[in-house]
Structure 1
Amino acid sequence: MPVTRFEVRLRRPLAGGAPFGDVGPYEELKGSLHFAIDPKHAANERIIDVALAPSDHVGRVEFESDVSILVPVDRARSSGRVMLDVVNRGNTVAVPNFNRATRPAFVPGSNPDPPVDPGDGFLMRRGFVVISCGWQCDLPEVPGLLGLRGPEALDARGHRLTGRVYTQLQTPEPATHLLLSDRGHRAYPAADLDEHDAVLLVRDQPDGEPMTIERGRWRFARVAGDNVGPDARSGIVPDPRYIWVDGGFEKGRLYQVTYTAVGAPVLGLGIAALRDSVAWLKHGTPREGNPAPAAIRYAYAYGRSQTGRLLRTLVYNDLNLDEQGREALDGIVANVAGGLRGEFNQRFGQNSKDRPHMMDYVHPSTGEELQRRLAARGSTLKVFYTNSSAEYHRGDASLTHTDPEGTRDAPSGPSARVYHFAGTEHGLGVWPPTAQKVTAADPAEPPEHSQNLRNTIDYAPLLRACLVNLDRWVTEGIEPPPSRHPRLADGSAVPFEALHAVFDRIPDANYPRHHARPCRLDFSRLPAHSP
């Protein structure tokens, strides 16, 4: 068993000990889950660089995750089902989305252990055990976020690895310097502050013509002290995790930097943590710290947006078998991930990176293609791929059910369903209506603004229906409704241009005239650099 111990640091009743129907009261167990995996085992062979990680005296790679477990006080009242909450940038998503609950916004100095809001108790009344498991090693340093602590990969001489990083930066306000990461995450430091081959591009559209900013105009540096205006020149200090440009970064423009970084954590251990935490709850013993031994039979995972893409990556790499050859997860709901995967199992990958024009993780996209390895070995894993309308307008959701060129409909496969929550936005809708949103991963950043009021439609009932149908499919063999999504064959899937006339009839809709479609990328060639 890869889980070696569960270190509980907090134990408390959920919702003050209030009962949830016949299941009764719940409690929360919060702490650290410790792992040790065999890097040579077939179950781990697709984890990139795991063989380069330092190992213990018996050759196993050690790491640990922050976890929160919500479990019935009377374990016998559990329904035998566990929900793996694949946290998004350290924030819980399963209880907030299925239970219509609020999610705390963590900021420096805030309470790292706020009470869990159970919402209307949907999951609890159905007897689910819920485990929220940290899997990211690069989270912003904000107490309360659930993360992972693991090793770096090292070369044969024990030295840190170096490699190329390609990242995109954008600011909603003029800025003097920017952190070399997405949404305040820990940046890969530049290996050489004076690297001649480092390249900084700027463009106005993801697929627009780039302009190279001369190397002499920017540095790996930041402005210290109070002099942080866009034209600040005093107080510039070298810093391998930041980038400074003469004249400052302009609001809204896309800056893309390619440089050589140093220090490569084994990112794929995050997927192993998710897999093995569930396997531990299903099969672990009291001696191994399992708080609900022999209580769990079925395991489901829910991820949204970033972590929906993570689950698509788990599926594609077939990382669902534990070291004993057992299926960890029985069902998955990968929500609002579009047709993307991500850099979650890549040397120098960026876990928070989510732009299709910056990643080589779009194709394959359909359920049938993603699950080809699973099908080849006869896996019983069932997957629902769900998307809102936002992922279609972003340009990649249609790839979950068409060929890469968008010329024909593609099947989802016998063990998958693809559903479109029509007329909804990326989130579950907000009330009262607002045009503003704070980025949860880094609340210190300026808020995002939209030109129109945000969508108010709450699609939580659809998510609940998906979970119920998925559970029936897994436990009783009852087929869920067929996939429901736009199709080329019946004219419900149309190009962006066909919508111009529709939205033009709505006063002040300002429907975008340009949509950047995902494209095939070639990372074998670097953009030209300037002296």
Structure 2
Amino acid sequence: MAVVGVEIEQRAVVLDGHTFGAAGAYEKLAGVVRFAVDRANPANHAITDLGLAPANARGHVEFWADFYLLRPADPARGNRRLLLDVPNRGRKVALGLFNSTPRVPDPSTPDDFGNGFLMRHGYTVAWCGWQHDVPRRDGLMALTVPAARGNGPAITGLVRCEWRPNTRVTTLPLADRYHIPHPTIDLQDPGARLTVRERREAAAVEVERGAWRFPDASSLTVENGFEPGKIYELVYRAANPPLVGLGFLAVRDTAAWLRCASAADGNPCAETLDRAYAFGVSQSGRFLRHLLHLGLNEDEAGRRVFDAVVPHVAGARRGEFNHRFGQPSLNATHAVGSLFPFTDTVETDPLTGERGALLARLEARGTLPKIFTINTSAEYWRGDASLVHTDIPGKRDVEPHPAARVYLFAGTQHTPGSLPPPDADPNTGGRGREPFNVVDYAPLLRAALVSLDRWVTEGVEPPASNVPRLADGTAVLAEVTAGVFTKIPGVRFPDRIDRPVRLDFGPELARGIVTELPPKVGAPFVTFVSAVDADGNEIAGVRPVE
């Protein structure tokens, strides 16, 4: 197997043996999982630059990841299901959403286990690091990978950073948020270019080279400071690209090992798991859409790994998860994660002639899992979620694959709301014109997992997809709703509606190499939101419990 060892550094009983209903007590294990993947195995060929990575004597590429596991102390009392929670920028998220807990790196108190939902249902919950650029601090889960080198000179390429600061600062890292940068190869790089724009669709204005500098290989300084709210974009050159795409194999092979490896292999879950589900939120939900698109649901032995996948609040996007000099944390819309295809089944872009489907590779290989794609109002209003279920011209609905369901959680925001609402986004510090949404959709998410599990294990069909539809008039252009919202006292309708656009990153993108940065920008896609009633509440979608 691709997993060649697990080093357990911590093992403890959870909450002094507190029992979670019929599942009983839980234990936690933490450590490092080590991999050695075969460059020649077809199951790994989708990974960019794998053939340029250093290999051991067997021709295998070695890397390792942080690992964390919660499981019933008595496996016989568990439900024999694995839920692999793909970390979001190194952070555990499943307990926060299903158990309604704060996000913590090492759950250790009663509050950290919240309502105990996942434990009471007997799930084994696992995490492994998949991002090479996650800082090694604060309990964040990271992945350590080799760099692509080849046999000649160092491999170099273009990197793009984007910032929209909330406060005035003079220096920022060459990375998204707090992540580890791709260092510049030349502090005086004459080809590096910094631009600034007022808003997404505004023209970029180049900042004179004398007004900014690289104070070191991993930072950028603007002499008069970055102005809050403006969008800054830097393109520069870096060398020795880490194999970003190995994150997919880390997630896939951790799940395969827990599910299939023996006790002799050191597997703490040997012969206790019958099913494996993958869950990802926002960035890690986009990661799962990308995993599906690459067809990476079989291990090196040809076994299907995940029985079900839940990309949650990912919209229609993927990410910089498998290209040279990719930045997995990057949330920019003008990035490779915003590219066609978007729908489960085959569609054609009439402007470019491109033809494709998100699930084409999985269907061809016969390794398609059950899929629940779940979005909130936020992913529709940012402009991309409707592309999951409408055709490119915006003329008709596209039904999901029979193995998939698509849901809108109506009237909700990207993460579950709370009372009182926060003053700012706890992750980015961003503030909105209106207060944050207070609707807690966690009960819907818990119900979705129960329905998905019954579909996989018992063949019980889940509720039909519930999204805005063109056929019944519940999918409308966002501008159409202005007539309702402008009548509500104190509400200001957005000045502009963002929509994703066609992007061209150069002729080598199919090989995972970006040669055009910033990308050439083409025509926008046609996208929709849910129609609303007279009170501004969405008509389509699943409404939360009142």
User: Is the shorter-chain TM-score for this pair beyond 0.5, marking a shared fold?
Assistant: yes
CA distance in structure 2 between the aligned counterparts of 1:266 and 1:527, rounded to whole angstroms: 22
Q: Does residue 128 in structure 1 map to residue 105 in structure 2?
A: no
Q: Does residue 186 in structure 1 map to residue 180 in structure 2?
A: yes
- Matching residue of 1:155: 150
Q: Offset of 1:114 from its aligned partner?
A: 5.4
CA distance in structure 1 between the aligned counterparts of 2:487 and 2:378, rounded to whole angstroms: 20
Q: Offset of 1:216 from its aligned partner?
A: 2.9
CA distance in structure 1 between the aligned counterparts of 2:485 and 2:75, rounded to whole angstroms: 54
- Matching residue of 1:225: none
Q: Offset of 1:526 from its aligned partner?
A: 5.0
- Matching residue of 2:276: 299
- 8 Å CA contact retained: 1:161, 1:262: yes
- Matching residue of 1:435: 423
Assess, with a 3 A threshold, how the Cα gap between structure 1 residues 299 and 527 changes in structure 2: closer, same or farther: closer
> Match of 2:67, SS?
strand
CA distance in structure 2 between the aligned counterparts of 1:353 and 1:405, rounded to whole angstroms: 28
Q: Offset of 1:437 from its aligned partner?
A: 2.3
Q: Does residue 506 in structure 1 map to residue 488 in structure 2?
A: yes
CA distance in structure 2 between the aligned counterparts of 1:514 and 1:79, rounded to whole angstroms: 48
Q: Does residue 27 in structure 1 map to residue 37 in structure 2?
A: no
1:483-521 C-alpha deviation (Å, 9 max, x unpaired): 110011211111121122221122222221202210001
- 8 Å CA contact retained: 2:135, 2:142: no
Assess, with a 3 A threshold, how the Cα gap between structure 1 residues 178 and 413 changes in structure 2: closer, same or farther: same
CA distance in structure 2 between the aligned counterparts of 1:126 and 1:160, rounded to whole angstroms: 51
Q: Offset of 1:388 from its aligned partner?
A: 0.4
Q: 1:179-218 residue pairs with structure 2 within 5 A?
A: 179-218=173-212
- 8 Å CA contact retained: 2:195, 2:232: yes
- Matching residue of 2:469: 487
- Matching residue of 2:134: 139
Assess, with a 3 A threshold, how the Cα gap between structure 1 residues 448 and 361 changes in structure 2: closer, same or farther: closer
> Match of 1:27, SS?
strand
Q: Offset of 1:360 from its aligned partner?
A: 5.1
> Match of 2:251, SS?
helix
CA distance in structure 2 between the aligned counterparts of 1:293 and 1:87, rounded to whole angstroms: 23
- Matching residue of 1:228: none
- 8 Å CA contact retained: 2:55, 2:61: yes
Q: Offset of 1:301 from its aligned partner?
A: 0.8
CA distance in structure 1 between the aligned counterparts of 2:368 and 2:186, rounded to whole angstroms: 48
Query: Of 359, 368, 372, which residue of structure 1 is paired with 2:336?
Result: 359
Query: Of 438, 445, 470, which residue of structure 2 is paired with 1:463?
Result: 445
CA distance in structure 1 between the aligned counterparts of 2:143 and 2:316, rounded to whole angstroms: 26
Q: Offset of 1:527 from its aligned partner?
A: 6.2
1:295-338 C-alpha deviation (Å, 9 max, x unpaired): 00100011000000000000000011000100110001110000
> Match of 2:497, SS?
coil
Amino acid at match of 1:3: V
- Matching residue of 1:409: 397
- Matching residue of 2:434: 452
Query: Of 378, 384, 387, which residue of structure 1 is paired with 2:375?
Result: 387
CA distance in structure 2 between the aligned counterparts of 1:13 and 1:419, rounded to whole angstroms: 37
**Larger displacement relative to structure 2 (180-189 or 239-248):** 239-248
Q: 1:95-110 residue pairs with structure 2 within 5 A?
A: 95-104=95-104
CA distance in structure 2 between the aligned counterparts of 1:7 and 1:306, rounded to whole angstroms: 28
- 8 Å CA contact retained: 1:17, 1:26: yes
Assess, with a 3 A threshold, how the Cα gap between structure 1 residues 478 and 114 changes in structure 2: closer, same or farther: closer
CA distance in structure 1 between the aligned counterparts of 2:462 and 2:489, rounded to whole angstroms: 40
> Match of 1:419, SS?
strand
Q: 1:46-85 residue pairs with structure 2 within 5 A?
A: 46-85=46-85
CA distance in structure 1 between the aligned counterparts of 2:134 and 2:178, rounded to whole angstroms: 8
Where has structure 1 moved over 4 Å in runs of 4 or more? 112-116, 525-528
1:356-377 C-alpha deviation (Å, 9 max, x unpaired): 2233533111123211111122
Assess, with a 3 A threshold, how the Cα gap between structure 1 residues 526 and 353 changes in structure 2: closer, same or farther: closer
- 8 Å CA contact retained: 2:69, 2:124: yes
1:434-462 C-alpha deviation (Å, 9 max, x unpaired): 3322217xxxxxx3222222111111111
Q: Offset of 1:89 from its aligned partner?
A: 0.6
Q: Does residue 420 in structure 1 map to residue 414 in structure 2?
A: no
- 8 Å CA contact retained: 1:152, 1:160: no
- Matching residue of 2:541: none
- Matching residue of 1:519: 501
Query: Of 156, 165, 182, which residue of structure 2 is paired with 1:171?
Result: 165
What is the number of equivalent residue pairs in this alignment? 498
- 8 Å CA contact retained: 1:356, 1:362: no
- 8 Å CA contact retained: 2:242, 2:325: yes
Amino acid at match of 2:370: K
Q: Offset of 1:143 from its aligned partner?
A: 2.9
Query: Percent of pairs identical after alignment?
Result: 45
CA distance in structure 1 between the aligned counterparts of 2:412 and 2:289, rounded to whole angstroms: 21
- Matching residue of 2:266: 289
- 8 Å CA contact retained: 1:206, 1:357: no
CA distance in structure 2 between the aligned counterparts of 1:287 and 1:402, rounded to whole angstroms: 49
- Matching residue of 1:319: 296
Ranges in structure 1 where 5+ consecutive residues have no aligned partner: 107-111, 222-238, 441-446
Q: Offset of 1:171 from its aligned partner?
A: 0.7
Amino acid at match of 1:17: G
**Larger displacement relative to structure 2 (313-322 or 465-474):** 465-474
Ranges in structure 2 where 5+ consecutive residues have no aligned partner: 346-356, 507-515, 520-546
Amino acid at match of 1:156: N
CA distance in structure 2 between the aligned counterparts of 1:434 and 1:349, rounded to whole angstroms: 32
Higher RCO (C-alpha 8 Å, min separation 6): 1
CA distance in structure 2 between the aligned counterparts of 1:396 and 1:390, rounded to whole angstroms: 10
- Matching residue of 1:345: 322
Assess, with a 3 A threshold, how the Cα gap between structure 1 residues 15 and 114 changes in structure 2: closer, same or farther: closer
Amino acid at match of 1:193: L
- Matching residue of 1:247: 224
> Match of 2:76, SS?
helix
CA distance in structure 2 between the aligned counterparts of 1:370 and 1:506, rounded to whole angstroms: 39
Query: Of 395, 398, 402, which residue of structure 1 is paired with 2:386?
Result: 398
- Matching residue of 2:15: 15
CA distance in structure 2 between the aligned counterparts of 1:490 and 1:338, rounded to whole angstroms: 22
> Match of 1:16, SS?
helix
CA distance in structure 2 between the aligned counterparts of 1:5 and 1:334, rounded to whole angstroms: 29
Q: Offset of 1:120 from its aligned partner?
A: 1.1
CA distance in structure 1 between the aligned counterparts of 2:400 and 2:54, rounded to whole angstroms: 40
> Match of 1:516, SS?
coil
- 8 Å CA contact retained: 2:7, 2:32: yes
- 8 Å CA contact retained: 2:505, 2:517: yes
- Matching residue of 1:224: none
